[in-house]
Amino acid sequence: MQRRTTVNVHNARETTARPAAAAGMALAVAGALVLAACGGGDGDGDNDDAQAGEARGDITIWYSNNEAEIAWGEQMVEAWNAGHPDEQIEAQEIPAGDSSEEVISAAIAAGNAPCLIFNTAPVAVPDFEKQGGLVSLSSFEDGATYIEERTGDVAAQYQSADGEYVQMPWKSNPVMIFYNKEMFAEAGLDPENPPLGTHDEFLDTARRLVSSGAAPNAIRPAPTSEFFQSWFDFYPLYAAETGGTQLVEDGSATFAGDAGLAVAEFWKTLYDEELAGREQYQGDAFADGEAAMAIVGPWAISVYGEQVDWGAVPVPTSGGTPPEETYTFSDAKNIGLYTACENRDTAWDVLKFATSEEQDGKLLEITGQMPMRQDLAETYPDYFAENPAYEAFGEQASRTVEVPNVPNSVAVWQAFRDAYSRAVISGEGELGQTLQDAAVEIDDLVGQS
Partner 1 sequence: MTTVPAGHRAGARYRSPVRRRRRGLLGRQPLGLLFSSPYLAFVLAVFAFPLGFAVWISFHDYFFAAPGAEVDRPFVGLDNYRDVLGDPDVWRSFRNVAVFLLINVPLTVALSLLLATALNQATRLRTFLRVGYYVPYVTASVAVVGVWLFLFNSNGLVNRVLGPLAPDPSWLINSTWAMPAIALYVTWKQLGFYILLYLAALQNVPRELYEVAATDGAGKIRTFFSITIPAVRPATVLVLLLSTIIGANLFTEPYLLTGGGGPNGASMSPVLLMYQLGIEQNSPDVAAAIGVILIVFVLLIGWLQRRLAGGDET
In the complex, which residues of this chain contact partner 1 (CB under 8 A)?
A: 22, 26-27, 29-31, 33-34, 37-38, 41-46, 48, 101-102, 105-106, 108-111, 113, 127, 130-133, 222-227, 278-280, 282, 339-340, 408, 410-411, 414, 418, 421-422, 425-426, 428
Nearer to partner 1, 155 or 419 (CB): 419
**Residue 392 Cβ, how far from partner 1 at the closest point, in Å?**
31
**Rounded CA separation 173/401 (Å):** 11
SS3 at position 57: coil
Name the nearest CA neighbour of 443 among 262, 261, 259, 247: 247
Amino acid at 232: F
Q: What backbone torsions phi and psi does residue 46 show, to the nearest 5 degrees?
A: -65, -45
Nearer to partner 1, 122 or 223 (CB): 223
Nearer to partner 1, 82 or 96 (CB): 96
**Residue 280 Cβ, how far from partner 1 at the closest point, in Å?**
5
**Residue 324 Cβ, how far from partner 1 at the closest point, in Å?**
36
Nearer to partner 1, 31 or 305 (CB): 31
| Rg of the Cα atoms in the chain | 26
Nearer to partner 1, 132 or 188 (CB): 132
**Rounded CA separation 329/26 (Å):** 52
Nearer to partner 1, 380 or 416 (CB): 416
Task: Determine contact, residues 72/371, Cβ cutoff 8 Å.
Answer: no
Nearer to partner 1, 97 or 381 (CB): 97
**Residue 130 Cβ, how far from partner 1 at the closest point, in Å?**
7
Q: List 176's β-bridge partners, or say none.
A: 296
Nearer to partner 1, 68 or 222 (CB): 222
**Residue 2 Cβ, how far from partner 1 at the closest point, in Å?**
19
Task: Determine contact, residues 269/423, Cβ cutoff 8 Å.
Answer: no
Task: Determine contact, residues 171/158, Cβ cutoff 8 Å.
Answer: no
Query: How is residue 402 annotated by DSSP?
Result: P
In angstroms, what CA-CA distances link 183 with 217, 298, 302? 11, 21, 20
Query: How is residue 326 annotated by DSSP?
Result: -
Nearer to partner 1, 49 or 200 (CB): 49
**Residue 80 Cβ, how far from partner 1 at the closest point, in Å?**
26
In angstroms, what CA-CA distances link 316 with 174, 178, 184, 321? 14, 12, 17, 7
Q: What backbone torsions phi and psi does residue 255 show, to the nearest 5 degrees?
A: -85, -5
**Residue 344 Cβ, how far from partner 1 at the closest point, in Å?**
14
**Residue 125 Cβ, how far from partner 1 at the closest point, in Å?**
12
- Taking the mean position of all CA atoms in its chain, how far away is CA 123? 6
**Residue 99 Cβ, how far from partner 1 at the closest point, in Å?**
8
Q: List 317's β-bridge partners, or say none.
A: 198
**HSE on the CB side for 134, CA within 13 Å?**
25
**Rounded CA separation 308/293 (Å):** 11
**Residue 384 Cβ, how far from partner 1 at the closest point, in Å?**
37
Count of CB atoms situated within 10 Å of the CB of 93: 14
Task: Determine contact, residues 172/372, Cβ cutoff 8 Å.
Answer: yes
Nearer to partner 1, 216 or 257 (CB): 216
